[in-house]
Chains A and B, each alone.
Chain A
Amino acid sequence: TQLLEQSPQFLSIQEGENLTVYCNSSSVFSSLQWYRQEPGEGPVLLVTVVTGGEVKKLKRLTFQFGDARKDSSLHITAAQPGDTGLYLCAGVAGANSKLTFGKGITLSVRP
């Protein structure tokens, strides 16, 4: 079983602050995805990373896949209340493997 550990579990910050959250594993993943889930809704795919060392930007969100493809980080610049939600990472370990989810990071951005 490939476990994905996400940290921190909870984060409450003021609007305008920067933050970085993490998704770590001892397993190697062929691809890794980040989702955001808002209250009362299903998760929405933000990004997929597939190459070790890859960096992808989505407006104020920067995603990085570790060189060894075992971990990933999400950096948010100048957080806004609209960034509030549950951030889930999920990885695929290899061909014909299942998508494994972490427990998620609950982010609250105060106005």
Chain B
Amino acid sequence: ETGVTQTPRHLVMGMTNKKSLKCEQHLGHNAMYWYKQSAKKPLELMFVYSLEERVENNSVPSRFSPECPNSSHLFLHLHTLQPEDSALYLCASSQDGVARAGVGLFFGPGTRLTVL
């Protein structure tokens, strides 16, 4: 595997289900991110992990719970979601934070989540 991988690619869940999204990066980066992409909206940053520590939590509801066990893996645990949470969830990685000029994000293919 190369780059950033995400599983599953598609997920349909009911509002009472518990599920987890998985992300793995094979680039040796030290920062990982979760973004939410909804139609007609800019990408929304949800969580940032740098050196396995959460450095940002963008007022995300507690029904989303991130976990970063090591610098290569990132999870997003989902619990009692709402239909408006349906979106494409993108994982990304970078070497150091993006505030440093010239540092770009490497995205995974995303998980298309539908909440019924």
Contacts and interface: CB of A to CB of B under 8 A. Distances in A.
Interface of A: 4, 30-31, 33, 35, 40-45, 48, 50, 88, 90, 92, 94-104
B60 interface: no
A67 B42 CA distance: 25
A97 B42 contact: no
A101 B43 contact: yes
Q: Closest 3 A-B residue pairs measured CB to CB?
A: A42-B107, A45-B104, A101-B43
Interface stretch (B12-20, B61-69, B70-78, B94-102): B94-102
Which of B92, B97, B104 gathers most chain A CB within 10 Å?
Answer: B104
B102 A4 contact: no
Given A42-B108, A42-B110, A43-B107, A31 B42 contact: no
Interface residues of B, number: 22
Contacts of A97: 99
B67 to A, nearest CB: 20
A105 to B, nearest CB: 12
Q: Is the interface of B mostly helix, strand, loop or mixed?
A: loop
A92 B98 contact: yes
Nearest to A9: B40
A39 B41 CA distance: 16
Nearest to B6: A42
Given A4-B42, A42-B4, A101-B42, A96 B99 contact: yes
Contacts of A44: 107
A75 to B, nearest CB: 20
Nearest to B9: A40
Contacts of B102: 31, 48, 50
Contacts of A92: 98-99, 101
B42 A102 contact: yes
A98 B58 CA distance: 11
B45 interface: yes
B90 interface: yes
Contact of A100 (B42, B90, B105, B108): B42
